[in-house]
Copies of this chain bind each other. A is one copy, B any other.
Amino acid sequence: MTTNLRGILAPALTAVTDNFQIDPERTIAHYTWLLENGCDGVLVLGTTSEANSFSVPERKRLLERAVEAGIKPEKLLVGTGCCAFADSIELTRHAVQIGCAGVLMLPPFYYKQLSEDGLFRYFASLVERVANDSWKLYLYHIPPIAVIPFSFSLIEKLVTHFPDIVAGIKDSSGDWAHTKELIERFARPGFDVFPGNESTLLAALRLGAAGCIPGTANVYAQLLQTIFSTWQTAEAEGHQSVVSKYRQVILGYPLIPALKAIISRMRMDLAWKNVQPPLSPLPEFQLEVLLEKLTAAGFDWRVSTPEAGALSPGMSV
């Protein structure tokens, strides 16, 4: 049995070609770089990955190629929650078959004002159809984007009915009061709470969070790892205040285009600026200002990883 993932997980960016398709070489090289530079695991195909902007076959192929390239599936959480029930089942089965550490599932997010019964029935029917006893389902609470929440009572019901499958939650509410209550009510061995917001990482760890899965881990996972590995010591406070400063700067920009633009500078690779429609790439002049502000805050974005861009698919990493 695989040990559940804990610590710093990056919701990894997905590199996109000029023709709006997934660029597997660049994307997988980025996974490798993340795992070698501060990440305990990688969330592939989540919100920061623009997962819902890609088709089911594209998503499956990327995961297969990542594992073929040598990424250990037990280091991966995979986003598999779609609007279409059949798509969610297909992606979940696929990730489970590949041996991934777990799947992170959005609620079905097209219809609004859903009843709790309807949502429970969706997940219960899905668990039945995935028909496997040894997989881990992480709930993905991100009301600013998916709108549909995982209410405390829905979480309770899912945990009660599927105690061996429902293994945790990512809280991307951006609301510390919510994260705090979530940890206090639910965090326990076998149910891990991962905030999406790293500006409260230290406070969350002290309460019992299992780690963190923030978008910015794509660019400064190593620094987040210093907080995770020192959180019981006095020095953690200092790291936390640095992280909070960086986040404050990045939050002034659309997150995904900004992160991709920073990576494009880190790697000296313009292709990394591409985003999938309907997102728009960060204009060059905005990137200049962002980098100046980050530099002023003390962030050294000039960490280049030339080897990452050159990694071939199929190459053992």
Which residues of A line the B interface, CB within 8 A?
A: 20-21, 47, 52-56, 58, 83-87, 90, 107-112, 114-115, 117-119, 121-122, 125-126, 144-147, 254, 276-280
Q: Is the CB of B55 within 8 A of A278?
A: no
- Are A56 and B56 interface neighbours, CB within 8 A? yes
Q: Does the CB pair B145–A55 fall under 8 Å?
A: no
Contacts A115-B280, A280-B121; A52 near B86 (Cβ below 8 A)? no
**Chain B contacts of A254 at CB under 8 A?**
115
Q: Do A118 and B86 have beta carbons less than 8 Å apart?
A: no
Cross-chain contact of A122 among B52, B147, B277 (Cβ < 8 A): B277
| Interface residue from B54, B118, B122 paired with A84 (Cβ < 8 Å) | B54
> What residues of chain B lie closer than 8 Å to A86, measured between beta carbons?
20-21, 54-55, 58
Which residues in B have their C-beta under 8 angstroms from that of A276? 85
A282 CB, nearest partner CB in chain B, Å = 11
A284–B121 alpha-carbon span in the complex (Å): 18
- For this complex, 21 residue pairs linking A to B, each with C-beta atoms less than 8 Å apart, are A20-B85, A20-B86, A20-B125, A52-B83, A52-B110, A54-B85, A55-B86, A55-B87, A56-B56, A85-B276, A108-B277, A110-B145, A111-B278, A111-B279, A112-B145, A115-B254, A115-B280, A118-B277, A118-B278, A125-B277, A147-B147
Q: For the complex formed, measure the closest distance between the CB of A155 and the CB atoms of chain B, giving whole angstroms.
A: 16
Contact check, A118 vs B55: say whether CB atoms are below 8 A apart: no
A84:B53 contact, CB within 8 angstroms = yes
Q: What residues of chain B lie closer than 8 Å to A90, measured between beta carbons?
A: 55
* CB-defined contacts of A115 to chain B, threshold 8 Å: 254, 280
A58 to B56, CA, bound (A): 13
Contacts A112-B144, A145-B112 hold; do A107 and B278 have CB atoms under 8 A apart? yes
Bound state CA distance, A257 and B65, in angstroms? 41
Inter-chain CA distance A163–B220, complex, in Å, is 47
A114 — which chain B residues lie within 8 A by C-beta?
278-279
Give the complex CA separation of A111 and B125 in angstroms: 26
Partner of A280 from the list B20, B53, B85, B117 (CB cut-off 8 Å) is B117
- List B contacts of A87 (CB < 8 A): 55
List 6 tightest A-B contacts by C-beta distance, closest first.
A122-B277, A52-B110, A118-B280, A52-B83, A122-B278, A55-B86
Q: Hey, which chain B residues are within 8 Å of A121, CB to CB?
A: 277-278, 280
Residues of B within 8 A of A145 (CB): 110-112
